[in-house]
Chain A
């Protein structure tokens, strides 16, 4: 039988590895003798991906075709970075994920961050908004503004961005199930502020596959959400050229418990699925692939993360070129946002988290990220205070402007260890991609719960490794202190919920309800025809101040709801 594309890649990589006799000799004589004499720390040296880590890497670990797989910065296969000048051209965007309470609270936080040197906006929404419920839904009780900012209608978006020039700063929105609605709100908001759609830039997360996999925010069955993604993809490709209509996310997959390899493999599989979706919609891959962006996690095993980012670029470029026949270099360039890992941050001894975040942020920068969120030291306690979020932002600024880390492009390129890890990561990812393809593709694997099970398995193993002290977490299973002192945390005032509910009531009496129901009816009709692009219809609803729940309910009616597969 003929090898599949991915099997072929695996075998190419394996062929590029060779046995290093110098290392073997050293290990069996000099090192062994010395260990006998001095003793050594016995431990299972592995990383999150279960790779065996050697004590030393040598020239022999470099792949034979190093020059070919590395390329130069800004050149295929982009292992060393997507831009020729990287951070000498422009530093990464410092984008702090923010939002809480009322739109006004959030507006204030955004301005505070901008005044402290933040260079991009990133909005966190609250639970009702994330699941497409209005603030006055009984289910929303006690949840309004707690985990992010509440948005029930366009009026709330107007308040969030009050006094902010949408043509000057890019905005990222962490919204998925109702992504099309929030995108529509942002577009309409820009129009109302007199900014042409070709001048706004930003990203909407919108990656629904990883919702079923990891973040668990959905409203409809997968096919319905994927249609909405197709509609955003087509609409933005035609009308909003600087808009990243999707941010294919590994962050959540990792936080849900995956290893680095799983994060990368599942995320890339999702990415390829969206490429297929665009092609199936009749678009040329080189038209829409350049606006696809990614979002990765940076966790605590420093070198593993750096290797992951480098491997990500290499795989994306290779597959787009060789499998999808892309010709536009921009289609092959994987650009990504990074967030440091919240999971690694502890409730115990919270100041230690600043150090963890620093290490993780450095890995992201050394891995060539295009934008970065750094978590605050109070991560395991609550949403961050002004003080904590400032330290997190300053951490990035110190890395960028004091440390010299950003002065040289891909400074770890050529490192025996990093290059070897990059290739091993690549190999392991191709193996997973092959397996997923043979299961009938990622959507199938997700619906079956296979991907979720793999992650839950890794997550449980990680938990046991910590409990058994195979993995150390300072302050949690080692160097424990008995008297943890409470820290100052951000509290969300109950007033926020009351105010939002009151305002929504007012809105519903003030708006033109005739127009609202007419636009909702038109949306309902449009939804019935699979071929119709829904974006203009949703924008119409939004413009009439239809609420997020009213619009979502039309979909619930037409598409139905969804229940997760059994994981255990």
Chain B
């Protein structure tokens, strides 16, 4: 297997190659750039972001939604889980709830750890989505970490961001509102079979109205009976906004930041504290930064 096989595999929709390329993208910089180089102009998918607090039913909804979308196009799924801040390991648990749909409809799904990257996605989510897009997907559904109000990065990647909530979130709802209210293109209240679900819809409706978002829909879903899914699917299919510009901008900024960071951290690790021992740390730091910027990024300095 070489990089050409892998790229051809991606373009042909071969799952094993898609899977392998995603690992390379996550783990190997030169392979990552080589793969993206060859595929970045391929494919065009609608990217559907699914975000919301833990346990509201994001994965269940994806498990239900994917087969419905599969009727009109090819679906792929990316689901992000948090890493443990202590060990860096993680348990990727979103798959179980979608498994049935995956096997039955032959859908490619990938679980990934955020590897402590902040914002609700993983560092290479853009690249993974790109691979899925190049593999011929028409829809790519992305489930964020699910930490609630801090999962905001999805708005930079998805064409349509669906914020999932459920009745009985308690105090959490306030925190969620402050963050997620800003990014949703549609709000879903899942678990409509539960008590208080109509109250939850009303509450969110009012909050949206108050911030001049009366045109953003709030839809109640029952994921056990699939009630109201037709409305949800229609909304997604009718959605036309393209977020490609922002998506690429995010990626470009990310690449630049990463490169700068890498160079600085290399430099920081090599600072020889002996000569600066007696200096004012503020002054010393300034001097070092000017120095490195001068060497590495002469063009950055006026």
Tell me the complex Cα distance, A566–B99, Å: 13
* CB neighbors of B among A468-496 (8 A): none
Q: Decide yes or no whether A563 CB sits under 8 A from chain B.
A: yes
Q: Which residue from chain A places its CB closest to the CB of B54 in the assembled complex?
A: A566
Q: Decide yes or no whether B96 CB sits under 8 A from chain A.
A: yes
Q: Which residue from chain A places its CB closest to the CB of B94 in the assembled complex?
A: A566
Query: CB-CB contacts of B55-99 with A at 8 A, as 1s and 0s?
Result: 100010000000000000000000000000000000101101101
The answer on a CB contact under 8 Å between A568 and B91 is: yes
Q: Which residue from chain B places its CB closest to the CB of A568 in the assembled complex?
A: B91
Tell me the complex Cα distance, A564–B93, Å: 12
Tell me the complex Cα distance, A221–B193, Å: 14
Q: Decide yes or no whether A448 CB sits under 8 A from chain B.
A: yes
Secondary structure dominating the interface of A: loop
Tell me the complex Cα distance, A221–B99, Å: 17
Q: Which residue from chain B places its CB closest to the CB of A567 in the assembled complex?
A: B93
Tell me the complex Cα distance, A221–B91, Å: 26
**Which of the residues A221, A448, A564, A568 comes within 8 Å of B55, measured between beta carbons?**
A448
The list of the 8 closest CB pairs from A to B, nearest first, reads A568-B91, A566-B93, A568-B93, A566-B96, A563-B97, A563-B96, A566-B97, A448-B55
Interface pairs (10), CB distance under 8 Å = A563-B96, A563-B97, A563-B99, A563-B100, A564-B96, A566-B59, A566-B93, A566-B96, A567-B93, A568-B91
New A-B contacts (9) at CB < 8 Å, excluding given A566-B59, A568-B91: A221-B224, A448-B55, A563-B97, A563-B99, A564-B96, A566-B94, A566-B96, A566-B97, A568-B93
B26, chain A: closest CB distance, angstroms: 21
B54, chain A: closest CB distance, angstroms: 10
Query: Using Cβ atoms and an 8 Å threshold, which residues of chain B touch A448?
Result: 55
Query: CB-CB contacts of B211-227 with A at 8 A, as 1s and 0s?
Result: 00000000000001000
* CB neighbors of B among A271-292 (8 A): none
A464, chain B: closest CB distance, angstroms: 14
Q: Which residue from chain B places its CB closest to the CB of A561 in the assembled complex?
A: B100
B211, chain A: closest CB distance, angstroms: 31
Chain A residues proximal to chain B, CB less than 8 Å: 221, 448, 563-564, 566-568
A530, chain B: closest CB distance, angstroms: 15
Tell me the complex Cα distance, A177–B108, Å: 33
Q: Which residue from chain B places its CB closest to the CB of A450 in the assembled complex?
A: B55
Query: Using Cβ atoms and an 8 Å threshold, which residues of chain B touch A567?
Result: 93
B147, chain A: closest CB distance, angstroms: 15
A454, chain B: closest CB distance, angstroms: 15
Which of B55, B59, B99: most chain A Cβ within 10 A? B55
Query: Using Cβ atoms and an 8 Å threshold, which residues of chain B touch A221?
Result: 224
Tell me the complex Cα distance, A567–B91, Å: 10
Which of A221, A566, A568: most chain B Cβ within 10 A? A566
Tell me the complex Cα distance, A564–B99, Å: 12
* A-B CB pair tally, cutoff 8 Å: 15
Query: Using Cβ atoms and an 8 Å threshold, which residues of chain A touch B93?
Result: 566-568
* CB neighbors of A among B4-57 (8 A): 55
Query: Using Cβ atoms and an 8 Å threshold, which residues of chain A touch B91?
Result: 568
Query: CB-CB contacts of B232-271 with A at 8 A, as 1s and 0s?
Result: 0000000000000000000000000000000000000000
Query: Using Cβ atoms and an 8 Å threshold, which residues of chain A touch B99?
Result: 563
Q: Which residue from chain B places its CB closest to the CB of A440 in the assembled complex?
A: B168
B134, chain A: closest CB distance, angstroms: 31
Tell me the complex Cα distance, A469–B100, Å: 42
B53, chain A: closest CB distance, angstroms: 13
Q: Which residue from chain A places its CB closest to the CB of B93 in the assembled complex?
A: A566
Tell me the complex Cα distance, A221–B225, Å: 12
Query: Using Cβ atoms and an 8 Å threshold, which residues of chain B touch A564?
Result: 96
A505, chain B: closest CB distance, angstroms: 29
Which of B59, B96, B99, B100: most chain A Cβ within 10 A? B96
Tell me the complex Cα distance, A68–B268, Å: 73
Query: Using Cβ atoms and an 8 Å threshold, which residues of chain B touch A568?
Result: 91, 93
A452, chain B: closest CB distance, angstroms: 13
Q: Which residue from chain A places its CB closest to the CB of B195 in the assembled complex?
A: A440
Q: Which residue from chain A places its CB closest to the CB of B168 in the assembled complex?
A: A440
A385, chain B: closest CB distance, angstroms: 38
Q: Which residue from chain B places its CB closest to the CB of A449 in the assembled complex?
A: B55
Tell me the complex Cα distance, A563–B63, Å: 12
Tell me the complex Cα distance, A563–B224, Å: 11
Query: Using Cβ atoms and an 8 Å threshold, which residues of chain A touch B97?
Result: 563, 566
Tell me the complex Cα distance, A567–B55, Å: 11
B194, chain A: closest CB distance, angstroms: 9
Which of A221, A563, A564: most chain B Cβ within 10 A? A563
Query: Using Cβ atoms and an 8 Å threshold, which residues of chain B touch A566?
Result: 59, 93-94, 96-97
Query: Using Cβ atoms and an 8 Å threshold, which residues of chain A touch B55?
Result: 448
B2, chain A: closest CB distance, angstroms: 37
Query: CB-CB contacts of B88-116 with A at 8 A, as 1s and 0s?
Result: 00010110110110000000000000000
Query: Using Cβ atoms and an 8 Å threshold, which residues of chain A touch B100?
Result: 563
* CB neighbors of A among B158-187 (8 A): none
B155, chain A: closest CB distance, angstroms: 25
Tell me the complex Cα distance, A563–B55, Å: 15
A368, chain B: closest CB distance, angstroms: 41
Tell me the complex Cα distance, A568–B90, Å: 9
Q: Which residue from chain A places its CB closest to the CB of B59 in the assembled complex?
A: A566
A158, chain B: closest CB distance, angstroms: 37
Q: Which residue from chain A places its CB closest to the CB of B90 in the assembled complex?
A: A568
B95, chain A: closest CB distance, angstroms: 9
Tell me the complex Cα distance, A566–B54, Å: 11
Tell me the complex Cα distance, A448–B57, Å: 11
A70, chain B: closest CB distance, angstroms: 41
Tell me the complex Cα distance, A563–B102, Å: 14
Query: Using Cβ atoms and an 8 Å threshold, which residues of chain A touch B59?
Result: 566
A528, chain B: closest CB distance, angstroms: 16
B262, chain A: closest CB distance, angstroms: 33
Tell me the complex Cα distance, A568–B111, Å: 14
A73, chain B: closest CB distance, angstroms: 45
Query: Using Cβ atoms and an 8 Å threshold, which residues of chain A touch B224?
Result: 221
Tell me the complex Cα distance, A563–B103, Å: 14
Tell me the complex Cα distance, A35–B117, Å: 53
A474, chain B: closest CB distance, angstroms: 31
B169, chain A: closest CB distance, angstroms: 13
Tell me the complex Cα distance, A566–B55, Å: 9
* CB neighbors of A among B97-156 (8 A): 97, 99-100
Tell me the complex Cα distance, A221–B94, Å: 20
B57, chain A: closest CB distance, angstroms: 11
Query: Using Cβ atoms and an 8 Å threshold, which residues of chain B touch A563?
Result: 96-97, 99-100
Tell me the complex Cα distance, A566–B91, Å: 11
B78, chain A: closest CB distance, angstroms: 17
Tell me the complex Cα distance, A568–B96, Å: 11
Tell me the complex Cα distance, A356–B23, Å: 49
B60, chain A: closest CB distance, angstroms: 9
Tell me the complex Cα distance, A430–B91, Å: 33
B204, chain A: closest CB distance, angstroms: 21
Tell me the complex Cα distance, A567–B94, Å: 11
Query: Using Cβ atoms and an 8 Å threshold, which residues of chain A touch B96?
Result: 563-564, 566
Q: Which residue from chain A places its CB closest to the CB of B60 in the assembled complex?
A: A563
Tell me the complex Cα distance, A196–B55, Å: 51
Tell me the complex Cα distance, A563–B97, Å: 7
Tell me the complex Cα distance, A137–B291, Å: 73
Q: Which residue from chain B places its CB closest to the CB of A566 in the assembled complex?
A: B93
A233, chain B: closest CB distance, angstroms: 25
Tell me the complex Cα distance, A563–B100, Å: 9
Tell me the complex Cα distance, A566–B63, Å: 14
Q: Which residue from chain B places its CB closest to the CB of A560 in the assembled complex?
A: B224
A493, chain B: closest CB distance, angstroms: 34
Q: Which residue from chain B places its CB closest to the CB of A439 in the assembled complex?
A: B168
Q: Which residue from chain A places its CB closest to the CB of B91 in the assembled complex?
A: A568
Tell me the complex Cα distance, A524–B174, Å: 47
Tell me the complex Cα distance, A384–B96, Å: 35
Q: Which residue from chain B places its CB closest to the CB of A221 in the assembled complex?
A: B224
Tell me the complex Cα distance, A568–B55, Å: 11
B195, chain A: closest CB distance, angstroms: 9
